[in-house]
Structure 1
């Protein structure tokens, strides 16, 4: 199924008001794809730009956020490694991050020389990852579609700081993830406070969309039942 069709079905099923984006790690961008015309302060800053158009960001374009560059699997220069060390030390000093936690932050492996980003509807290649901004209600449906609302299944992988760690987590596990976000993500992306980040491996997107449509239908049935129950009690 085409990226455009999947994006449209995903948007309808969840009632999305922000376009889902896709991204692929690659050494060579498709012909005619430009690089972004301005710098961003973090790797997650590219996610919002990708809602607008397709572009290729080389590894060095991610270096304004040493943690994001590390998580994306890009090689760090000595200067960037020093910045990363200083940043992690500052995070530990203010109790934002524990020293042992910093050592466990996942990264993409193997990575590429850069990342192709863009709206899912416009990508001409299969995305390795699809990113979606979810409200709590949408996250409920997403959780059900991922199969992790079932008490006999494992819990959905939920991550915290840094938010970008949801990407390598989804890639390595091969399963959908949810991130509660981090202060950097919320500052740099300016995403509304009521949104969570979902990361879906590209190969599992079609099955997730099909499951979402079934979850929406079953929830519509249950909502009608609950509304009837509420109305009956109100008139009793």
Structure 2
């Protein structure tokens, strides 16, 4: 045995090892947060986004120090806009009761009175021929128990996102879709419509990017423009998509010049 090790108590050595390991973990967390900020900045700059990408995560409980939303939004998608405006917060299940359809897509178990509202709303939509009863079971729904949902702009997120939501115009979403396709993460399904919030469980459960044209409720609650939609990227794949995005945007600039020279 090395003589230098004999005088160090085993417990002390273990403590020192644990301290070093915790320090390494803290460094990794700091690096991860720096990476998130960089990815958010890159997406904004490469695409010229009007609103920053939003980080969303689902956890059993809120991180220490994070505030709960001060007042419920009319719909869950309203929280997207608040995060894009720079707020960092979390919501509980009851903060989603104002939109029974959104609560359903988020995997929230509704109390009897709210479930009755959902059924009434669905029946109204069916009567208006906005949706059919056959479509309802096919609406994506987040799996697992709902604890809290965390929201923040990606550039300032103090947590690892489960999904990153990008709001953009058709050209911006085109570039994102090409980057995701280049990364092997393009959605295998059609572009989604109502309800807009179903794009979150679709991306979460498929492990692939998902596109949504939005819905009329979302457009009212978020001010989504007529030429805008959403692109949802699983959080674990954001780095891959962003790395491809720089190449895709550069290639598109060159190809635009090429096509313009031919058109003229």
How far does the alpha carbon of each residue in 1:102-134 deviate from its partner, in whole angstroms, 9 at most, with x for none?
Answer: 122111111431101011111111100101112
The residue that corresponds to 2:212 in the other structure is 179
How far, CA to CA, are the matches of 2:35 and 2:109 in structure 1? 33
Is 1:143 aligned to residue 177 of structure 2?
A: yes
The residue that corresponds to 2:138 in the other structure is 104
RMSD over aligned Cα atoms: 1.8
How far does the alpha carbon of each residue in 1:145-185 deviate from its partner, in whole angstroms, 9 at most, with x for none?
Answer: 1117x9xx874552111011110000111000000111111
How far, CA to CA, are the matches of 1:30 and 1:155 in structure 2? 34
User: Kindly tell me: are residues 101 and 156 of structure 1, through their superposed partners in 2, closer, same or farther at Cα, counting changes over 3 Å?
Assistant: closer
- Is the Cα contact below 8 Å between 2:58 and 2:162 reproduced in 1? yes
Report the secondary structure of 1:100's partner residue: coil
Selected match of 1:6 from 23, 28, 39: 39
The residue that corresponds to 1:55 in the other structure is 89
Query: Which range moved further: 54-63 or 138-147?
Result: 138-147
Report the secondary structure of 1:175's partner residue: coil
User: Kindly tell me: are residues 156 and 14 of structure 1, through their superposed partners in 2, closer, same or farther at Cα, counting changes over 3 Å?
Assistant: farther
Is 1:133 aligned to residue 182 of structure 2?
A: no
- Is the Cα contact below 8 Å between 1:133 and 1:195 reproduced in 2? yes
Superposition TM-score, scaled by structure 2 size:
0.83
Which has the greater radius of gyration?
2
How far, CA to CA, are the matches of 1:5 and 1:53 in structure 2? 18
Structure 1, unaligned runs of 5 or more: 232-236
Report the secondary structure of 1:24's partner residue: strand
How far, CA to CA, are the matches of 1:40 and 1:142 in structure 2? 28
How far, CA to CA, are the matches of 1:214 and 1:121 in structure 2? 21
Structure 2, unaligned runs of 5 or more: 1-33
Query: Which range moved further: 76-85 or 185-194?
Result: 185-194
Q: Relative to total residues, which structure has the larger helix share, 1 or 2? A: 2
Is 1:41 aligned to residue 62 of structure 2?
A: no
How far does the alpha carbon of each residue in 1:198-231 deviate from its partner, in whole angstroms, 9 at most, with x for none?
Answer: 1110001010011111111111111121222234
The residue that corresponds to 2:114 in the other structure is 80
Is 1:30 aligned to residue 63 of structure 2?
A: yes
Superposition TM-score, scaled by structure 1 size:
0.92
Report the secondary structure of 1:204's partner residue: helix
How far does the alpha carbon of each residue in 1:29-56 deviate from its partner, in whole angstroms, 9 at most, with x for none?
Answer: 1111111122210010110011121101
Is 1:21 aligned to residue 54 of structure 2?
A: yes
How far, CA to CA, are the matches of 1:207 and 1:139 in structure 2? 16
Is 1:117 aligned to residue 151 of structure 2?
A: yes
